[in-house]
Chains A and B, each alone.
Chain A
């Protein structure tokens, strides 16, 4: 659905061009494995490495339709390698698992997955344990950069009191193994609670849920609306009245309802609650609406600064307040906010935008306990370079650098890659993930 296109990627997908690109040392980005309902979770069996934690982790996996291998068999293409490192207590504990993964890497199929499962390093730990746990992150992030063929590496961090067989861990693992996480690379998901449950209908995990998506007339917002609908949600798409024609087209394409609304209006929360509330309750809210008004800070004016902060940060803050104050939030509400890698690593000319997006990350972290008290979660998704109408307007050279050189996947993401992450965080399987910011950036250098 995205009108923006990566023609280089299309070109080098052709065998001859691919050969030429290889001879000249040009990047040879892979066509990423992307989710289609009904397809197997992985292109091959999953090798689960580790001790007793690995056994516990592997327990529910056959239910996901996966074949489990506890040891690599030579010559068998693996769909994924999961390294369970939940018991590392000192630096020496890393070697065995790290090298075992390394030995099996050759067998990893294109589009394969590496997932580490380890415990979160926190201040209360003995230094050696904290060092080992933190070490896993460096190991995984570097390993992810060594992967080719559209394979990705990500990690799951277990919070205090969360075991490897917690539903949230299974849910996160399923997401990371699946094609839904195609452009998520080098990232860690923290499962902080034992909440969550597998979806009754795995193909329609959001069935019966009502979702609101702001900024849904085009680009990432429209993709989010489509994916939420594909996953079963009733979707209310919101955008400014001026984008109403495209918004209506999105609503009619996905079978949702359109709400033309400037979210900076004082009564925006009330209007959203009124329209979405018709369905009885609001289960999912995706704060996607955002604008850019780029200028070097030296040239920045109040109008540009205020507009960006108002739309990107102040409006979501007000909407959340209104939602939390209403009695129409569902029993397990999910709020997902769109942050940005600019908000993490900064970006020249985007002081206002980066401030607003970093603000989102702070808002999410601080709002997490409020949502938890209501049985819900709030998280952010931080996209990197995504092929949209907005990025299509970037200068060509900057666009190629952003696509090719920065992400280890050597390509920009698609709006639906962001949407898949949003949909995952909106579902019951992600109940244990709260207050987090998940980057969907193809492991861009930006922000490490």
Chain B
């Protein structure tokens, strides 16, 4: 568990260059350990997807990674900084080590090619020595893995339902048995029943195959259930990071508390749903000090002047809030 797999160090992502650049991700430190599910939650525009695109170098222009390191520890061999890989190295790294399940279940598959073509081409690209029959057998296994009949290989994407497409994408993400699977709102476009099914399947597959998951969503209630640890993002920074159960039981950051109070608990005493007043900050005009202070019910003296650093307020719990003075800065 304590074995780091993907270490994000001081990652900064901007949109645009120079003085007009918008800082969407600011000095993010985050570590994904081998085999764990790390949840990343935040409102729209908090920079969580940008973080995922930034660390995989898939940012469309004008997005630019302007600083930091993304250190990947392969199962064998020395750690590498993903941000400095050459294009050829990057191509080999992608999907084989880190695969991604994207937000748009509907549009993630190429509409003019069969499912089989799209499953096979990624295997062929990374394992050029594999035989056609071997690849096909693998593709069949993959579909079976996510509970889709193997004869669906000959289907075109438009012949599949949204849930099936997303399951095909998950099968595709597992095709090369990567160490890390990044899931960017994988179930947002699906109905709750399908969402449940897919997440259940995902948890089972992870148990079996042992990959680590970076799970990005705006739905904190999902994370509480499915992830080992949760990181909360606000205004491009991580504001709190803690084991899922502890975070749910007792949030340290007022923003996390606000998020937790915006959905009802299934068990335990009833509590009032409050939500968070105001709206997410404008990235072009971030408030001085803590980005959350204009909306924070507990804001006090230092909040509008200095940015609180993320650090261990208690053992195993990092938070960036003046209410919880940091004993020692988070270990780098």
**A and B, one complex?**
no
